[in-house]
Each structure stands twice: as structure tokens, then as C-alpha cells.
Amino acid sequence: MQKGIIGKKIGMTQIFDEAGKVIPVTVVEAGPCVVVQKKTIENDGYEAVQLGFGDIRAKRVNKPLAGHFKVADVALKRTLKEFRFDDISNLNVGDIVKADTFAEGDIVDVCGTSKGKGYAGNIKRHNNARLKETHGTGPVHRHAGSMGACSSPSRIYKGKGMPGHLGAERVTVQNLKIVKIDAENNLIAIKGAIPGPKNGTVVIVDCVKKA
């Protein structure tokens, strides 16, 4: 059965296995999430469930979204994410999804938003080489240099690595192993690093590939 949950990245730490080996893990506060909406083939053309995570004050929610929660008769939530599962018959509006929906040893994919780094040059953004420091490079030793378009086609090719906004983009890390689950506190320890800053929202879904 496919599984998914929304969580918040707490930070990184390390735990020890039975052999005393150190395992670096990222701790995620996963859930509790509530099923806000259930989409069906008859009404929406596909099957999916919408989960809500994180409490929010009523003054922070606009009227259309407040009506959406009122129809479902659930508490207001800060984050809404949709999960397309092959079988959603066991989930209904109002159901609670907790961290114990996963088990130790599960292989999961984690999706989050990477740290925003603002405006960056082509060297930092695309790992381009800089110019030599001698023989007349002057103050342009970190510039992109010639684009090489010449008179034909007299434009920059689409996809050219240029300076611009770096980070703050959707990143998915696949095939990560769940090392430990604290069901009482809704905490999941995932081996390795996952995308996003501390307290950033992440989405965890089970992976087809198993260990």
C-alpha cells in the first residue's frame, strides 16, 4: 500500500545501531496530518487525497480556504498537499495520518524546498571556471565572458548558464532509509540529509524500490 505524509524538518543528529556504528540522520516531525479532501474518478477524474499539516490561526486563512476546511469539518491547517495513490479506499475525510504509518527500514522519497541563496553569479550558480588572475583580466575575472552567439543566431541560446536566482527550488531526494520512528512524538529519523532549511516543510512518500 502506498503511503505519504507531510512533516517539518527538525534538524540533523546521529544515532548508533546495534553494532555501535554511527548513523547520521535527519529528524522530521511527521504529522499528525488530517485528510481534508478525497478526490474520486467520478467527481475529479482521478483518485487522490489531500492532507493538511500544521495548525494556523483563523485570521491567517482567507474565506475560500476557510470554507474548504468547513466543508470537511476539520481544523484549519497551514500546509495542504495532494497525494495520488493507487488505492485510497482506506482513507476518508477526517482521518488522521501519523508517523507510524511508516515502519523502520522503509525506503522513501523526500521532497522539500532548498535553501534560497539570493542572486548568484555564474561561478557559484553553475560551477563555471574563473579567468586567470594575470595578464589583463582586470575586474572581470568572475564574469561569464563571451556568449559566442556571433551574428547568427544573434541571441543567447535557451538554457545558457547565466547569473540569476539560486536555490529556493523544489528538490527530491530518493531512496532514503527510515532508521527509527518515535510514534509517540511523531518523529521519523531518516538516514542522510534531506532538502530544505530547519523547520522547512517536507513531503515523505514511500518508494517503489525496497532495500
Over residues 115-136, the pLDDT tens digits come to 999 999 999 999 988 888 777 7
In this prediction, residue 140 has a pLDDT band, given cuts at 50, 70 and 90, of confident
Q: What is the model's pLDDT at position 67? A: 92
Would you say how long the chain is, in residues?
Answer: 211
Enumerate residues 6+ apart whose C-beta is below 8 A from 107: 175, 176, 177, 178, 206, 207, 209, 210, 211
Q: Are 33 and 55 in contact (CB under 8 A)?
A: no
Q: Which CATH architecture has domain 4-115+172-206?
A: Beta Barrel (2.40)
Extents of the domains making up the chain? 4-115+172-206, 116-132+140-167
Per-residue b/e over 146-178, b at no fewer than 16 CB within 10 Å?
A: eeeeeeeeeeeeeeeeebeebeeeebebeebbb
Question: Percent of the chain, pLDDT > 70?
Answer: 98
In this prediction, residue 109 has a pLDDT band, given cuts at 50, 70 and 90, of very high
Enumerate residues 6+ apart whose C-beta is below 8 A from 205: 2, 3, 4, 83, 108, 109, 111
Cell triple for residue 17?
A: 545501531
